[in-house]
Structure formats: C-alpha cells, structure tokens
Amino acid sequence: MKEHFQKQLEQNLKVTQEKLDKVEQKSYTSGKEIKIGDIILFALLKESDNIQMVALHEDEIDNYKFEGEYVELLPFISKK
C-alpha cells in the first residue's frame, strides 16, 4: 500500500511548529494527533456512494486497500 503514497512521501513537506500553529485541524481524519515532523498524506476514501478526502499518517495506510487513482498523487482507498 505504501507504494501508492510514495510520491506524497517524497514531495510533501514535514509538519513544522509554525505550520501546526497556523492550521485549525490538528488531527488526522482518524483522530490521531498531528505531530511536528509528520508528513500528512491525502487520499479519497470511498465508502458506499460517499467519497471524502482524508488526511492520513503513514502508519495508518495499511488500514486501507487501494482502489485506484483519481489523479497521480491522490489514491482512491477503502477500509479493509
């Protein structure tokens, strides 16, 4: 699953204290706290007929299965 997020892992910037101070949402979609040094990964989560953009921590991506790509950097996923 990690290979589908490889470009984001290489290109997305790590969270800094300055960036964390500026954002309103300080947690991932799962509720896990965003920490300094994290790389936030984004995907489109498909649940039934509903699709939403989610923010994931690298440790969370194995909780999902790959469904395809919408655009090059944005994988479609669903819960296992």
Burial class (CB in 10 A: 0-12, 13-18, 19+), 18: exposed
Task: State the pTM of this model.
Answer: 0.83
Tell me, what's the pLDDT at 38? 97
Is the pLDDT reported for residue 71 higher than 70? no
pLDDT in tens, 13-63: 999 999 999 999 999 999 999 999 999 999 999 888 888 999 999 999 999
What pLDDT is stored for residue 1 in this prediction? Answer: 84
Residue 72 confidence class, pLDDT cut points 50, 70, 90? low
The enclosing H or E element of 7 equals helix 6-11
> Smallest Cα–Cα separation from 61: which of 30, 19, 26?
30
